[in-house]
Structure 1
Amino acid sequence: MGTNLSLLRGGRKTTFVRRWRVWEHFRDFFPVKLMKTAELNPNKNYILGCHPHGILSVGAFTCFSTDSCGFNEVFPGLRCHLAVLAGLFRIPLFREYLMCAGLYPVSKPSLAHLLSKSGKGNAVVIVIGGAAESLASSPGVNTVVMKQRKGFVRVALEFGADLVPVYSFGENELFKQVIFSDGSLGRKLQDLFKKIMGFAPCLFVGERLAFLPYKTPVTTVVGSPISVPKRVTPTEEEVDHYHRLYMEALAKLFHEHKVSCGIAESHKLQII
């Protein structure tokens, strides 16, 4: 019971872990940059949907689970909480790091705790596409999996948290992935692992003995908030409405910033 409660409240969060000097070196390797396009009111709560997942979610990890990109200075008064797959908390030792860094499992109890029992000024970050999106990650690809991902919108309505789209430009350029075709043995094994653990093992290569990611800039752009009313029991029509608004805002964010972030004007965002 004690462990579950600790997970629910962000483990054993320590500022020291989030401010490790190693995260500054990690940030500078690519480099990773956090970019603001609009103010976020610290008297409100937010759900930030981060896209795309990529192989390792470097943009989301660096900007929202460490202090190396200066989130607190960019968005004063907000407390940032990165929510990750619950399956990651089953990995020995890594689980201890997650808890010390104050990460949360993506679960209804955790999100409810953050959005209803922790006051205002909470920015909960969720990588919406998850394991399914990681399997589509490849250089030159800008695909997000979210047409059927509506749970985060329902939670936003239940707690009156505004929605904010976030796009990490360059995330899919960090590794070259071996893409298995549907129905192949490789894809079946990936799907089986995903079903058991909640995330999929990807076969990928980088540079320098195929171990390190490519040194490609990653710019994580935080979009404008979408005002969401509080509905204790939201209807399907309300969920669909705000889900549609979110997808439109994400596409707008992508197209407004793609060229300045190194993506060709001709590239489109594919939402599946």
Structure 2
Amino acid sequence: MDRQMIVWDFLLDYYFRSETTGWERLPDSASMLIGIHSGTWLTMDAWTLCAEWYRHFHGRRVLHGTAHDVLMAMPGLGTYFRNAGVIPANRESVGAAFSAGHDVVIWPGGEVDSMRSWKKRDTVVLDGRKGFIRQAIRSGVPIVPVATTGGPDTVFVLSEGRNLAKILLLKKLFRCDMAPLILGFPFGITLEAFPMHIPLPAKIRTEILDPVDIDNDPDRINDIAYVDKKYKEIESRIQEGVNRLAKK
């Protein structure tokens, strides 16, 4: 990562004009960060968070990003991710990272979140996926919500392409529910079945929010009411943070 920071310093400071606040809210112990991301396949708001983390801690505290299986399997991109410490978003990989005392950031909404239309740019999409709460209980770590804005302006998603994804059997083939129609550089209006655009220089703002304590009693894993309560609390906190950032 050290070798990449020359490039990332430029991208953070000048291309995306990144602002990340709330570092003082992070617990001292390993934590699970939960947020939203955007930009279809190239989620610059996720990448800038990880780069800002590395720059802030200078490698003293390790944060693992997580990615969809399809991205991890892509030639070139998958290799880059692995070299940067990105891990698959599954129980085994995330659990091992916490056992090693590392932090992990998860974007539960997956492609439904990252490929949401531009008109929903400031809407939190976790897609009802609550496995991250059970993982936090299992690993005994707090959850730290993260709000971000600006990522949707790096590429404009005109249509999420849910029906087209069904026709193309993307769910069966790639575990993907979306086939977004984008307006981006350099190809203009394009059906983006794989990464094709160069992200535009949008300003990205990120705020690390107050942590949410999670009961590590194993019985809570199957406590549907408890899991639902925590899910709604986290979703609400992120939305409040996004609303605040969107006004800047």
**Cα drift, residue 68 of structure 1:** 7.8
Alignment partner, residue 249 of structure 1:
237
Write the mapping of 1:23-172 to structure 2, written as runs, cut at 5 A.
23-27=8-12, 28-36=14-22, 38-42=24-28, 44-55=29-40, 56-64=42-50, 66=51, 70-72=55-57, 78-115=61-98, 117-119=99-101, 122-138=102-118, 141-146=121-126, 148-172=128-152
TM-score by length of 1: 0.76
Evaluate the alpha carbon distance shift between residue 189 and residue 58 of structure 1 in structure 2; reply closer, same or farther with a 3 A threshold. farther
Moved over 6 A (4+): none
d(CA) in 1 for partners of 2:32 and 2:67?
Answer: 13
Over the residues paired in the alignment, what is the CA RMSD in angstroms?
2.6
d(CA) in 1 for partners of 2:61 and 2:24?
Answer: 14
Evaluate the alpha carbon distance shift between residue 89 and residue 172 of structure 1 in structure 2; reply closer, same or farther with a 3 A threshold. same
d(CA) in 1 for partners of 2:23 and 2:39?
Answer: 22
* SS of residue paired to 2:96: helix
d(CA) in 2 for partners of 1:245 and 1:86?
Answer: 28
Partner letter of residue 197 of structure 1?
A: F
**Cα drift, residue 243 of structure 1:** 1.2
d(CA) in 2 for partners of 1:92 and 1:239?
Answer: 37
> Is the deviation greater in 152-161 or in 211-220?
211-220
> Is the deviation greater in 28-37 or in 153-162?
28-37
Evaluate the alpha carbon distance shift between residue 213 and residue 95 of structure 1 in structure 2; reply closer, same or farther with a 3 A threshold. closer
Higher helix share: 2
Asked if the contact 2:165/2:171 (under 8 Å) is kept, the reply is no
d(CA) in 1 for partners of 2:103 and 2:53?
Answer: 17
d(CA) in 1 for partners of 2:160 and 2:10?
Answer: 33
Asked if the contact 2:35/2:106 (under 8 Å) is kept, the reply is yes
d(CA) in 2 for partners of 1:180 and 1:164?
Answer: 28
Partner letter of residue 50 of structure 1?
A: G
d(CA) in 1 for partners of 2:130 and 2:68?
Answer: 16
* SS of residue paired to 1:51: coil
